[in-house]
């Protein structure tokens, strides 16, 4: 198991210690859980952003004109960009 030396503001150390005690945890265990939660939260957010981007692409393709009369794709891209 790795050990890490970190520096926190005195007030933050106090708050961490109080919260750790309230949950029956050591400071190290509390901080490890907090770090794991934060890392999972970031991973979940990344997945949500990817899913939203893919949905936006699906919606864009679904609404695009089809076939030979679809028009100039460059003009369509410029028009979409300029609407933002």
Digit-by-digit pLDDT tens for the chain (84 residues) are 889 899 999 999 999 999 999 999 999 999 999 999 988 888 878 888 888 899 988 888 888 777 655 667 787 788 889 988
Q: What's this model's pTM, rounded to 2 decimal places?
A: 0.53
Can you tell me the distance from the alpha carbon of 81 to that of 84, in angstroms, rounded to the nearest whole number? 6
Can you tell me the distance from the alpha carbon of 37 to that of 59, in angstroms, rounded to the nearest whole number? 33
Phi/psi of residue 65, each to 5°?
A: -60, 150
Can you tell me the distance from the alpha carbon of 46 to that of 65, in angstroms, rounded to the nearest whole number? 31
pLDDT of residue 76: 77
Q: What share of the chain is helix, strand, coil (3-state, %, to 5)?
A: 75, 0, 25
pLDDT of residue 36: 92
């Amino acid at each position: 198991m790795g050990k890490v030396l970190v520096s926190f503001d005195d007030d933050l150390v106090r708050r961490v210690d109080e919260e750790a005690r309230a949950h029956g945890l050591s400071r190290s265990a509390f901080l490890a859980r907090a770090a794991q939660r934060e890392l999972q939260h970031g991973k979940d957010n990344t997945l949500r952003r990817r899913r939203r981007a893919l949905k936006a692409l699906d919606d864009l393709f679904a609404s695009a004109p089809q076939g030979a009369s679809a028009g100039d794709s460059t003009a369509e891209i410029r028009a979409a960009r300029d609407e933002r």
